[in-house]
Structures are given as structure tokens and as C-alpha cells.
Structure 1
Amino acid sequence: MERDEGDIIQCFNDQLPESDRITCEIIDIDKPRGVDIVLSSHDRKLTILFADDRTDRDSAIRAMQDMIAPRYQIRWFMESLGNDTLAYLLLSTEQWAELEKQFGKEKLEFHFQPITSESVMFSLDMDEVFGLIETRQKARTSE
């Protein structure tokens, strides 16, 4: 379990300049999930909030976003919705602002959804996924 979440953190870290990388520490604990994951950078430290019985990728990605903000943003590439692998793009906040100027906020967020503390990606059930896909298809045809 913790390996997946640690791998996700490492994947995002690989996209950051070395000076901005996040340290990921996996600590064995006496709970059913077995581990805590602690992220740290410079003077910040954050223990990822997981359920007692499991770790999850959504929480890991939200925590990573929290650690790298406000300098960087992780966004979910929405065309990957429904695929067996979800895609993300990490850019500096300045780069996202430039793209927003070029394409408009609504269009940019339609394709690249910002990660927030409320983001649910891997924990969506199939009905929710198909509902989102249908909503996106309707929005696309009305453009």
C-alpha cells in the first residue's frame, strides 16, 4: 500500500527542481494501515491524513499539492478520466497563469482540473466516473 503512495510522491518530486523537492518518510505504525507517511520540505512538515485502515492515492496527491503550493500546482488531466491510469501535470503557478491567459480559466480547468483539498480521483465509483464523462461530453458538444 504505502509503496504506491510513496511512488506517487516520488513521481511528482522528479518533476520539481532539486531545491523544491519534498522528503517522503514512511514510518511503521501500530494501526491496520501499517504506516504513516510524513512529507517535509525546508521548514514545513505534514503527516498525510489517511483512514486508520488504509492509505490512499487521493490523500497522497492532495498532501503533495499542499506541500508544493503556492509555487507549484498539480492538475489532473481530465482526458485520462475513465482510463486505467490517471494523468497529472505539475507546473509552476506562473506557468498555469500563462496558460490561463492564453486559453481562459474555464477551458483550462475543463482539461486540467486543479487539485484541491476536496479532490476525489481514485476513489470515484464507476457510476461517478461515467457520470463525469457524460457531463464532460455534453459540455464539449455545446462549445
Structure 2
Amino acid sequence: MLPATVLTLLQVTDAEDAYQAIVDDEFVDEGQPCVFWVDWREDEQDIVLYVESILRTGSLHSEVVECGSELGYEMYISLFDRREQVPLVGDVADRHHALVTLNRILHPEHEIRWCVDSDGSDTLAFVVLPNSAWMEAEEQFPDAVRRRFGKIYGRPNLFTDSPSAIRASLNLSNGP
């Protein structure tokens, strides 16, 4: 079953209504929220905490380890027996790298996707759902899923690349 916020996003046609549905997710009384927000200045460890607060695995966490690298530290994300290093570069691009690494760790059970309607600000919204829910959404609303939720890949970087490059990668024109 799809969360109310996702169902609303898939059924509305107006971008403003879609954005409002994303914002309202924080205040949903029924069920568990599925939306989290990432500011371009966000700490990567906080992103992991946001996802864990939604999924409630009891195991998803991050760890920063001091080392002799150029940055002086490395970050790892762990879930149960899986552990992956986040390829940090020391700038705003790291928000995206953390999201990509999180998706690798969560796979195949869950997936994080970008809420396209949150574009236009330095804070972006993301939805994390079980893959079974994404498959259900794609079966029922294939065009709306493509317009409203962008899959997250290594490129383009959602925090550093131009909006036109991001939209081109999703095969979107000027707006959802």
C-alpha cells in the first residue's frame, strides 16, 4: 500500500499542489512519514539519521573515522552486516554521495528517490519506500512516478549540477 503523501503526489497535476503534499508529509498523523529534506549545507551523518527515523531498522547508522586521507576522515554507512564508505570530497557534492551510498546499502529492500517538485531551492525533498511500494506505484502510475520522483544515480549530482542537466537526465522539460 502506498503512503498517503506518495498517492497524493501521483494523483495531483499541479506542481504547487505536489509541493504542498511534500511539505505536509511532516504533519501526517496516519502512518509513518516517508519524506525527508536535505539542505545543501546538511551534515551527511544527519541524512542517515533522517532515513533511519523513517525506516526504523534499529541498525542503519553512520560512522566517521579519522584517517590519513586528504580530508583527515572517512565516513561509512552501515545496515545490519553491510558497510560502505561514502566517497567524500569535502564539499556540497557530499550530500549527493551520501544519498547514493545510502541507496546502495538499502538495496534491494528500499530505495530513496528525489521529489522532483522540491526543485528550485537549496533544500531538496526525498522519499524512501520499500521497493515493493515503488513497483506498485510504477504499475499504477508509470508517467506520474517518472515526473514526480527521480531515481538517484552517481550523475548528475542533485546539489551541484545545473537544473537543466538534472532535468535532462530524468527526461523532463521545464517542469514536472
TM-score range, shorter chain: 0.7 to 0.9
**Residue 107 of structure 1 aligns with which residue?**
144
CA shift digits 1:108-127 (9 cap, x unpaired) = 12210112233410121xxx
Q: CA–CA distance in 2 between the matches of 1:61 and 1:28?
A: 21
What stretches of structure 2 of length at least 5 have no aligned partner?
A: 1-41
1:15 partner SS: helix
Residue 7, structure 1, aligned to residue 41, structure 2: no
Q: CA–CA distance in 2 between the matches of 1:132 and 1:39?
A: 25
**Residue 136 of structure 1 aligns with which residue?**
173
Deviation at 1:65, TM superposition (A): 0.6
Aligned length: 132
Deviation at 1:131, TM superposition (A): 6.1
**Residue 79 of structure 1 aligns with which residue?**
117
Question: CA, structure 1 residues 107+25, in 2 after alignment: closer, same or farther (shift >3 Å)?
Answer: same
**Residue 64 of structure 2 aligns with which residue?**
26
Question: Cα RMSD over matched residues?
Answer: 2.5
Residue 116, structure 1, aligned to residue 153, structure 2: yes
CA shift digits 1:28-50 (9 cap, x unpaired) = 22334232111122221111122
Q: CA–CA distance in 2 between the matches of 1:82 and 1:71?
A: 30
CA shift digits 1:91-114 (9 cap, x unpaired) = 00011111111111x431221011
State the TM-score, normalized to the length of structure 2.
0.65
Say if 2:76 and 2:84, in contact at 8 Å, map to a contact too. Answer: yes
Say if 1:81 and 1:133, in contact at 8 Å, map to a contact too. Answer: no
Which structure ranks higher in relative contact order (CA pairs < 8 Å, sequence separation ≥ 6)?
2
Residue 69, structure 1, aligned to residue 103, structure 2: no
Q: Answer with 37-46 or 71-80: which moved more.
A: 37-46
